[in-house]
Amino acid sequence: MDRTDVAWRGYFSALPTPFAGSGELDLPAFRATVELFVRQGVHGLLVNGSTGEWPLQTLDERRRLAAAAVEAAAGRVPVIVGVMHPRTAEAVELARHAEQIGADAVMAAPPAGVRPTARELHQYYVDVFGATSLPAWLYNFPQDAAADISIGQLDELVAIPNVVAIKQSTPDDRTFYATIEAVSDRVLVFGNLLSRLGLSAIAGGFGGDGHFGSGMLLGERMPRFFELAWQGRLDEAAEIADTNARLMSRLRGADTDGYNWRHGGMQASLKAAMNLLGQPAGLPRAPKLPITDPDALEEIRAALREARLAA
């Protein structure tokens, strides 16, 4: 199995997980979010990723959320289930469950906090992805997992039989483009393509297949960026890229580490913006805290207004 076995490209959204004020999982709000994103034209969905606060959920909650995503999407777009877990046995269980519920693929980052050696990480992926016949995504997010998959190791990991893609969430664009050069002949490469630099790579034929974003704050404009790029309507696509860059710069701030933004955590910031837009985002789960400071909320509201979004 390799990139030729799937036809995925464009804007895939990492779904937030709505929690109620009591901390309980809010499945009706989650299903509503899936429906909203599908109606806005998203090309694919990821459930139980970093945006989805997977470390703060029980295994049962993760299974329920994955099943709800598959049911709500109803085959309209591919649904990828994040199965990462520090313990191999639990990741294997989640991978098997994803196949049972009809998910389209599984995704796993290096086991968080474990800091595996290259040999240990290879075995982890062999065990987890070997538990399912589904296509599998590697996920490199060093800010979250405290482990960074090197380009050399990626070259080995993409040889695992059902690996078809990588979500390359490195904060370094040079590493992202090096990933395209190294492995895009064998697997799909998703990363920071919703940008002017990404547009140049698409238009120039350099490579790169899509972008995984946290939520869909720009709504239909986010998948539209790729559709315009594929049609050669580069000026229109560039306008969307510029709007996205300005919005994310205001939300993240100058000193972001990619995970904690100007006014709070990444998930809390995304949910605050979605809630201001009247979307069913819910709240983050403790120990993550919601953004309640009036000045911070006003700054987020101003950023949304600048992006031509009603807030």
Q: Catalytic residues, which ones? A: 139, 167
Q: Which residues of 154-191 are buried (b: 16+ CB within 10 A; e: fewer)?
A: beebbebebbbbbbbbbeeeebbbebbebbbebbbbbb
Q: Which two tokens stand for residue 292?
A: 């309640």
CA dist 239 to 216, 224, 245, Å? Answer: 17, 11, 10
Q: Which two tokens stand for residue 217?
A: 């704050």
H or E segment to which residue 168 belongs: strand 163-168
The number of residues making up the chain comes to: 311
* CB-count exposure of residue 97 (10 Å: 0-12, 13-18, 19+): buried
Cα separation, 295 vs 90, whole angstroms? 42
